[in-house]
Amino acid sequence: MVVYFLHDFSNYQTKQSLVSDLEEPFRWLIDLTVVQAFEYGALDLHDFYFTGDDYRYRFEREAKQRFVDLIRTRFNAGAHYNRRNMKWDTIIEQKTIELSRFLILKSRIVDFAEPTPALRREDDRELRARILALTHEARELGIGKSTFYYMRKKAEGRHSFKLCKPIMAKISHRQMD
Q: Which of 109, 100, 118, 115 is nearest to 25 (CA)?
A: 115
Q: How confident is the model over 9-26, as pLDDT tens digits?
A: 565 555 566 777 788 888
Element (H, E) at 84: strand 84-87
Give the mean pLDDT of 145-153: 89
117 versus 30: which is more confidently predicted?
30
Q: Are 142 and 167 in contact (CB under 8 A)?
A: no
Q: How far apart are CA 126 and CA 86, in angstroms?
A: 32
pLDDT per residue as tens digits for the range 63-76: 999 999 999 998 88
Q: Which residues have CB under 8 Å from 56's CB, separation 6+?
A: 50
Per-residue pLDDT tens digits for 122-133: 677 888 888 888
Residue 169 has pLDDT above 50, yes or no: yes
Q: Per-residue DSSP letters for 89-113? A: HHHHHHHHHHHHHHHTTS-S----S
Q: What pLDDT shows up at residue 79?
A: 86
